[in-house]
Chain A
Amino acid sequence: MWEQTDRVLRQAATRIGDHVADFLPGALVALVLMLGAVIVATVVRVVLGRALRGLEFDRRAERLGIGALAGWPAVSLSETVALVAYWTILILGLLLGLTALNATIPSRLADAVFGYLPHLIAALMILIIGAIAARFFARSVLIGAVNMQIHSARLLSLAVKWLVLLVSVAMALDHLGIGRSVLLLAFAIFFGGIVLAASLAIGLGARDAVGRAIERQLRDPPRGDDHVNHV
């Protein structure tokens, strides 16, 4: 009886010992990894912050209109970027550490997050750049179209704006892997539809009008002031 109890206890102790022995190196490695992550994150934060300040990133960003878009007047943009980098590395380090513990769920989670994170950042950047570009191009197109005397200038500029916005949203979603095929299909249908509708309209409905317009283009010389030397 005693012996049995003793054996069972011993076995249990050995098992626990084994488990601990199994677990300990992993935990140690995890600890080291996390510590390393903290150090690396801090270093990156400081270095990145200094580098961005040195490059006068804030001033440049403000000129591009990113600063206003970000909308944190209290915290400078370079600081924000440095902070984001800091937390990203910290979280990655944590996940890496969990992987080292050989815990299945966290490790799978870590894998997924590792795979996903760059996409998330890229998607965000695409959206920001897209929004700025859309505004700028829309205005350029509007002015350009008006100067070319295209009467539907506003429509054109709106189209450009939404096109740029949509493309950037689509690119962002594509990066995130959300509804990839649906998105592709939707775009194909959308653009295809527009082109088809336009060609049908020209071919069937407005055949004569288009013909006349082209004829006029060929017959009439371009507008007089194109020849005039303005300077």
Chain B
Amino acid sequence: MNRTPHPDDPLWFKDAIIYELPVKSFADGNGDGVGDFQGLFAQLDYLQSLGVTCLWLLPFFPSPQRDDGYDIADYLSVHPHAGTLDDVKRCVEGAHARGMRVVIELVMNHTSDQHPWFQRARRAPPGSSERDYYVWSETDQRYQQARIIFVDSERSNWSWDPVAQAYYWHRFFHHQPDLNYDNPAVVREMLAILDFWLDLGVDGFRLDAVPYLVERDGTSCENLPATHAIIKAVRAHLAVKAPSCMLLAEANQLPADVRDYFGDGDECHMAYHFPLMPRIFMGLHLEDRQPITEVMEKTPPIPDTCQWALFLRNHDELTLEMVTDDERDYMYLAYSMNPQARLNIGIRRRLAPLVGNSRQRIELLNSLLFSFPGTPIIYYGDEIGMGDNLFLGDRNGVRTPMQWNGDRNAGFSRCDPAKLFSPVIMDPVYGYQAVSVESQESDAASLLHWMRNMIRLRKLFKVFGRGSIEFLSPANRRILAYVRRYRDDVILCVANLARTSQPAELDLRAFAGMTPVEMLGYTEFPVIGELPYFLTPGPYGFYWFELQR
């Protein structure tokens, strides 16, 4: 029973559980082999029963689909495969009725080269406002300090346009020209797009590739003050129009740089904590807490009204841009012996295959995700431990159809299997015959049930989303222990990163006299005294304790 699904709490995102899904891969309602909003609508009950409170939909706009929809050709409508605007509206309303909010993508940095703006710009005379929607240059030597992001496919950030007889600027693929935010008309257009989707009922936007909005000579063209000014303008616009609408920044930068995207609480509400993810995996493989505690210590404090977005895996590769060279080498050796799994500077795998399909490791990682300070994001399919397909190019291997049941096409679509936009996973370990929502639904001990219970448990305690964190330092470095506090709630989390049982001696003198109550089973442990508190978590075991007076 969710009697107040939409209390108008502007900080709702702090307590949210976000579920990331590409509409294309989730469920096909009309049988054309591509997921759509009809299919999503039919599965809203599943999402509600999972307990997630917010859906983040990957791009579903008309697009030539050369970058999985991030190359948008029209911001104000829906890709024909995904459905119609009415379908979107019905989905948003259906989600709201079930107490879930909806966040969509706002790709501000670039458009597709098929976008009418670009087609118009390349033909417009130089100097005109239409032409200045994009960044043009006579030479490809400007902004040389800007790095190339997609090193595997692009040689330069400039490409020659024969129609315009000039070079245009692109930070990503050459078919994604960057918009020119020095042109006020572009800002106006973006705000109009924002308003359009707000009117449709959307509750938030993920700002894709936000550090690259503005270019300046002699800089790396990332995180520039002018870029922040644009974000502030967007936020100021929202503050008037929809105060509880959330902005989530995708800034793949060091935490100190990402910190700036929160501003003084006047830029984005949320931003991803990118460096945490690879270090959690590293800590797990090293059986050492140090990489994790180190990155958390380096994480700067953020304004009270802001929040980190945490995730284990997402639709992109597990990016290793934000780690040192040694760490990167270690990660490659540890997690991608198969060179096919590498892409750009990262590893393109799902959660389950990354950790060798070990249920214990999956549970441990999720327990960290749910208990670290921030809002957890679950990538679709990871709640049932879906696998990936390395033989599909780019990042398509982690975007295969959702596995609903053991029927044809994994229950994703009724179409001819050849018509599917992407083959379903069929290997004996992760294939849909073995891993599916239906089979896990009927198995009380399945990962799906475990996830559902964990989500339910996490939602009971606001401390996870809103509390402070302090790390304990037991002598055994395989033990990660931390205390979360919010108002009267004190939660102690202890995780064993090793594959064997470990002793943990915790210095809990600050909590002497309190009783740890294990949260999952509500079991009371002995009262904390002056002596070190002794626990022996099993292999990859973790405890969550409520400390009660």
Contact = CB atoms under 8 A, between A and B. Distances in A.
Contact flag (A, B; Cβ within 8 A): yes
A53 B405 contact: no
B407 A74 contact: yes
A54 B90 contact: yes
A15 interface: no
A54 B90 CA distance: 9
B38 A53 contact: yes
Nearest to B408: A74
Contact of B405 (A58, A59, A74): A74
Interface in B203-256: none
Given A53-B38, A54-B90, A73 B45 contact: no
B90 A58 contact: no
B42 interface: yes
Interface in A40-69: 53-54, 58-59
A74 B413 CA distance: 10
Q: For chain A, which range describes its interface: under 10, 10 to 19, 20 to 34, or 35 or more residues?
A: under 10
Nearest to B406: A74
B438 interface: yes
Interface in A73-120: 73-74, 76
B385 interface: no
B439 to A, nearest CB: 11
Contact of A73 (B29, B38, B41, B438): B438
B411 interface: yes
Interface residues of B, number: 10
A53 B411 contact: no
Contacts of B38: 53
A168 B438 CA distance: 33
A61 to B, nearest CB: 12
Nearest to A76: B42
B42 A53 contact: yes
A74 B42 contact: no
A80 to B, nearest CB: 12
Interface in A126-166: none
A73 B405 contact: yes
Nearest to A79: B414
B45 A59 contact: yes
A208 B520 CA distance: 64
B90 A74 contact: no
Nearest to B29: A53
Nearest to B90: A54
Interface string B397-413: 00000000101000100
B437 to A, nearest CB: 11
Contacts of A59: 45
13 contacts: A53-B29, A53-B38, A53-B41, A53-B42, A54-B90, A58-B42, A59-B45, A73-B405, A73-B438, A74-B405, A74-B407, A74-B411, A76-B42
Interface of A: 53-54, 58-59, 73-74, 76
Q: Across the A-B interface, give the 9 residue pairs with the lowest CB-CB distance, nearest first.
A: A74-B407, A59-B45, A53-B42, A74-B405, A74-B411, A53-B38, A73-B438, A73-B405, A76-B42
